[in-house]
Amino acid sequence: MGPDPTLFEERHLKYISVLGKGNFGSVELCRYDPLGDSTGELVAVKRLQHSSAEHQHDFEKEISILRSLHHDFVVAYRGVCYSQGEEDAGASSGQRRLHLVMEYLPSGCLRNYLQKNKERLDHKKLLLYAWQVCKGMDYLGSQRYIHRDLAARNILVENENRVKIGDFGLAKILPQGKEYYVVQEPGQSPIFWYAPESLSDCIFSPESDVWSFGVVLYELFTYGSRSHSPTEEFLRLIGPSNPPLVVYHLFKLLKKNKRLPMPAGCPIEVFVLMQSCWSFLPCQRPRFCTLAPQIEVLRDSCCK
C-alpha cells in the first residue's frame, strides 16, 4: 500500500499564477514539486474564495463528481490538497481547507484559443472540437450528470486536436427516477447560454445542456468573437432594457422563435444543427448520442 498519489501536500504545492475565477472559487497554476528542484508537474488547483458552509458543501460535491469522471474529453481529476493555512493553524477551529487538484492544460480555454488561432482553424477542426464536446457530454449524461454551464469559456484545449469539458462548479446529478433538476438559486452563469425552461422555471436537464451545446457551436463558428458573442447578439435583439427585465425579454423573444443569427461563413448544415439544439420544447432537441454521428457526417463532407 504505497503513498496515495491523489493526496497533495500543501508544502510542496508552489503557487505560480492565477488562471481564472470560477463561480465561487479561483483556479491557480501551481507546480507540485516534492523534490524542490522545479522538476515537479504543473497542476491546476481550485480553491474556494469566501468559503461559506454551503459553498464548502457544494465544492465537496463538485470534487466527488469530478473524481468519478474518467473520459478523454473531460478535464482530469488529480486529487485533493488539505491546507492548514497559517491563518487558522493555531485556531481551535482546526478546520482544514480542501482544494481540488486537476490536470493543467497549457493551451487554456477554448474561447481564447479560437480568438487567437482563428486564421489556422478550419471548419473541419471546429467540427472535431464540437464532436469531442458531444462525446464528453454524452458520457456525462450516461453518468446522470447535468453540466449546467456548458460554454466555450468552460472548455479547455489540450492541443490543437483535443479539447476537454471543464468547470463542474454548477454540475448536478439527476436524482434517480427524475429526468430534470430544479435549482433554487436562479444561477449566476450568463443567461444567454440558458434554455427557455431554465430561464422561466430554473429547470435543468440533459436537454438544457443540448441547448447550451448549440450556443457552443455558435461560439465555435464565430471563433469566439467578442462583438458577435451570444451576449452581444442577444442584447442587440432585446434592445435597451434595464437589467432585471433582461431575463423576461430574453424569454419573450425565444418564445417568439427569435434565435442567434447564422455566423458569417457558417455552413448552412451546421446552422440547421445549431437551430435543432434550440428547439423551444426540450423533447424536440436532439440528444448528444444522435448529434455526435451527425457532426461526424458534416466533418467528412465539409472540405474547408
Ligand X SMILES: C[C@H](Nc1nc(-c2c[nH]c3ncc(Cl)cc23)ncc1F)C(=O)NCC(F)(F)F
Measured from the CB atom, the residue of 21 and 226 that comes closer to ligand X is 21
Cα within 13 Å of Cα(210), Cβ side: 27
The yes or no reply on residue 102 touching ligand X (CB under 6 A) is: yes
CB of 60 to ligand X, least distance (A): 17
Stretch that binds ligand X, among 82-90, 105-113, 246-254, 255-263 (CB under 6 A): 105-113
Beta pairing class for 77-83 and 97-103: antiparallel
Helices 268-277, 206-221: inter-axial angle, 10-degree rounding: 150
Cα separation of 150 and 129, whole Å? 13
Cα separation of 242 and 83, whole Å? 43
Q: What is the pattern of x (binds ligand X, CB under 6 A) and - over residues 58-77? A: -----------------x--
CB of 229 to ligand X, least distance (A): 15
The yes or no reply on residue 150 touching ligand X (CB under 6 A) is: no
CB of 119 to ligand X, least distance (A): 21
Cα separation of 271 and 277, whole Å? 10
CB of 136 to ligand X, least distance (A): 11
The yes or no reply on residue 136 touching ligand X (CB under 6 A) is: no
Q: Is 240 helix (H, G, I), strand (E, B) or coil?
A: coil
Q: Which amino acid is at 163?
A: V
Name the β-bridge partners of 25. Answer: 48
Q: Is 57 helix (H, G, I), strand (E, B) or coil?
A: helix
Among 156, 170, 216, 298, binds ligand X (CB under 6 A): 156
Among 8, 28, 30, 44, binds ligand X (CB under 6 A): 44
What cell numbers appear for 156 in the block?
Answer: 479547455
What amino acid positions are annotated as catalytic residues? 149
The yes or no reply on residue 163 touching ligand X (CB under 6 A) is: no
Measured from the CB atom, the residue of 76 and 235 that comes closer to ligand X is 76
Q: Is 17 helix (H, G, I), strand (E, B) or coil?
A: strand
Measured from the CB atom, the residue of 69 and 109 that comes closer to ligand X is 109
Cα separation of 96 and 10, whole Å? 11
Residues that bind ligand X (CB under 6 A): 19-22, 27, 44, 75, 102, 104-105, 108-109, 154, 156, 166-167
